[in-house]
Structure 1
Amino acid sequence: MNADERRDTIDRTGDSAPRSSETGVTTKTAADRAAVGFTGILSPLGIVDRGMAIFEAVVLAIGTLALACASVANVAGRFLFGQSLYFAEELSQFLVILITFAGIGFAARHGRHIRMSAIYDQLPDLGRKITMILIALVTAAIMFVLAWYSYFYVSSVYGTGRISPVTRIPVFLTLIWLPIGFAITGIQYILTAIANLTRPDVYLSVSVIDTYEDTETQV
């Protein structure tokens, strides 16, 4: 089949997916499959997921930009004017806490946490789905327990009335991201378990399908 005939075939079928030269069967890579959203009775979960995604993106963007600006301004002040920003180190510590604990939920949503998958990878699809559901539920439970304990820790710090020595910010405000981050991460893993229970594919997170993409590099 020449190039013109192939274009005609694509125009008629509306399918430009690669075809096997031996079998003529259309082959689609796993990357072509998009993650399915929550629909029907589960549509409120989709709203929750999108809301958390926006919250995480905004918090991480603001925190990262603020940390970068503070660091650059501190270095510039030191080398250009011989005077560092007196609050830069303390502010950077607060922002690192924010970015870290807001980022664990973001990483969970995008399936970016480190996984030990030597046994998991050898399982069939059903076995991987069951294992992923168990992993998601156990991890969610751990996250909620950590959120519970961190809430009491933040409450105890609030009770002491501690104030940061330089910026004079109440210390409990800088630690409030601990329970928030753990709780958001727990919710993400609950949504992952629900996604695996209600959808045919195996999901590493609510928006990431577990796939194997074999890419060949021509030497």
Structure 2
Amino acid sequence: MNNAFKGLLTALAAFDRVIGVVERLVIGGTVLLMALLMSVHVVGQLVFDRGIPGTYEVTEMLIVVMTFVGVSYAARHARHIRMSALYEQLRGRARKGLLMLICLGTAALMFYFAWKSGQYVIDIHDRGRVSSSLGLPMWIVYLALPAGFGLAGIQYLLTLARNALSPGIWRSFNERETYSDTPVHGGEMGGAGDDRV
């Protein structure tokens, strides 16, 4: 691999790390905030016979944020749902080519969803919708949709780039497919079933 490809992979890896930090902060922050909020609410109910107003509403909003940013997190760690009946039958370059095609198609779909959900956010903003208990503008909450879909699309493009620029088959930018990821046919390992490209 020449220096230009290595430099590109290094830049993509740095970009991927930045996205990873954002994902972890958002997902970890929403989980901690939900746990803290619900705990304080329950203690308030038990001790003072009065909880925090709007707790359930905020929890629902945090679940929306966590879910859609989680789409990108799942793609980063190759923990997304895969329909692999055809994929598992292929080996070598054919398998890598199909994975790259899947990454390209899924990235396009994620960017389309990001665009459509962005239009939805604009529509909610224009209508002035707010949450019932707190009066929080709902468009702020629903920004998680285009952000999550956009980040997922980027993850699939990063996986496509990794497979295009690196030897082997990569399920995500940082996770290489290994023998344990593929079914063994006929009880034999290695040989014709070797997936290294």
TM-score, length of structure 1 as denominator length:
0.77
Given that residues 9 and 162 in structure 2 are in contact (C-alpha distance below 8 angstroms), is that contact kept between their aligned partners in structure 1?
Answer: no
Alpha-carbon distance in 2 for matches of 1:161, 1:82: 34
Number of the residue aligned with 1:122 = 89
Structure 1 counterpart of 2:162, one-letter code: A
Q: Structure 2 matches for 1:137-216, cutoff 5 A?
A: 137-213=104-180
Deviating above 3 A after TM superposition, structure 1's stretches of 4 or more consecutive aligned residues are: none
1:89 to 56, 76, 80: 56
The worse-fitting range, judged by mean Cα deviation, of 93-102 and 75-84 is 75-84
Number of the residue aligned with 1:98 = 65
Structure 2: runs of 5 or more not aligned: 182-197
Q: Report the structure number with the largest CA radius of gyration.
A: 1
Q: Tell me, yes or no, if structure 1 residue 75 matches structure 2 residue 42.
A: yes
Aligned positions, number: 177
TM-score, length of structure 2 as denominator length:
0.85
Give how far 1:79 is off. Answer: 2.5
Alpha-carbon distance in 1 for matches of 2:143, 2:180: 40
Number of the residue aligned with 1:61 = 28
Please give the secondary structure, in 1, of the residue aligned with 2:33: helix
Return the structure number with greater helix share. 2
Identical-pair percentage: 38
Structure 1: runs of 5 or more not aligned: 1-37, 215-219
2:18 to 38, 51, 58: 51
Q: Tell me, yes or no, if structure 1 residue 109 matches structure 2 residue 96.
A: no
Alpha-carbon distance in 2 for matches of 1:53, 1:122: 32
For the aligned residues, what is the CA RMSD?
A: 1.5
Give how far 1:206 is off. Answer: 0.5
Give how far 1:213 is off. Answer: 2.4
